[in-house]
Amino acid sequence: MAIDFELSEGSKLAQAHYHDIALKQMRPISRKYDLREHDLPVEWVDYWWNEGRFGTKGRSEKLTEGFITICLQAEELCWGDAGLYLRMPTPALGGSAVSSAGTKEQKQRFMSKFREEGGHPIWGAMAITEPQAGSDAAAIETTADFDPDTEEWILNGTKIFCTAGEGASTADGGFVVVWATIDKSAGRGGIKSFVVMANTPGMELIGCEKKLGIRASDTATLRFDNCRVPKENLLGSAEVRKKDPTKTGDKGFKGAMATFDASRPIVAAMATGVGRAALDFLKEELENQGVAIRYDAPPRELTAIERDVIEMEAELQAARLLTWRAAWMMNTGKRNNLEASMAKAKAGLAVTKITQKAVQILGPVGYSKKLLVEKWMRDAKINDIYEGTQQINQLIVARRILDYPSAMLR
Ligand SMILES: Cc1cc2nc3c(=O)[nH]c(=O)nc-3n(C[C@H](O)[C@H](O)[C@H](O)COP(=O)(O)OP(=O)(O)OC[C@H]3O[C@@H](n4cnc5c(N)ncnc54)[C@H](O)[C@@H]3O)c2cc1C
Residue 129 CA, distance from chain mean position: 14
CA pair distance 43, 37, nearest whole angstrom: 15
Catalytic residues: 387
Q: State the pLDDT at residue 56.
A: 57
Domains of the chain, earliest start first: 9-90 (no CATH), 124-251 (2.40.110.10), 254-402 (1.20.140.10)
Q: What is the pTM of this model?
A: 0.95
Q: Quick one: what percent of the chain has pLDDT higher than 90?
A: 81
Q: State the pLDDT at residue 191.
A: 94
Q: What is the pLDDT of residues 85-126, one digit of tens each?
A: 999 999 999 999 998 889 999 999 999 999 999 999 999 999
Burial class (CB in 10 A: 0-12, 13-18, 19+), 1: exposed
Nearest CA to ligand 1 atom 14: 161
Q: In ligand 1, which atom is closest to the CA atom of 211?
A: 1
Distances (CA, A) of 239 to 2, 147, 166, 253: 43, 16, 31, 11
d(CA 219, ligand 1 centre) in Å: 14
126 lines ligand 1 (CB under 6 A): yes
Q: State the pLDDT at residue 249.
A: 46
Q: What letter would DSSP give residue 224?
A: E
CA pair distance 109, 118, nearest whole angstrom: 18
382 lines ligand 1 (CB under 6 A): yes
Ligand 1: residue of 135, 219, 390, 392 to mutate (most ligand atoms within 8 A of CB) is: 135
Nearest CA to ligand 1 atom 43: 391
d(CA 278, ligand 1 centre) in Å: 25
Secondary structure (DSSP) of 181-196: ES-GGGGGGGEEEEEE
Low-confidence ranges of the chain (pLDDT < 50): 58-64, 248-249
Q: State the pLDDT at residue 410.
A: 83
d(CA 134, ligand 1 centre) in Å: 5
d(CA 387, ligand 1 centre) in Å: 8
Q: State the pLDDT at residue 60.
A: 45
Nearest CA to ligand 1 atom 24: 134
In contact, 162 and 123? CB cutoff 8 Å: no
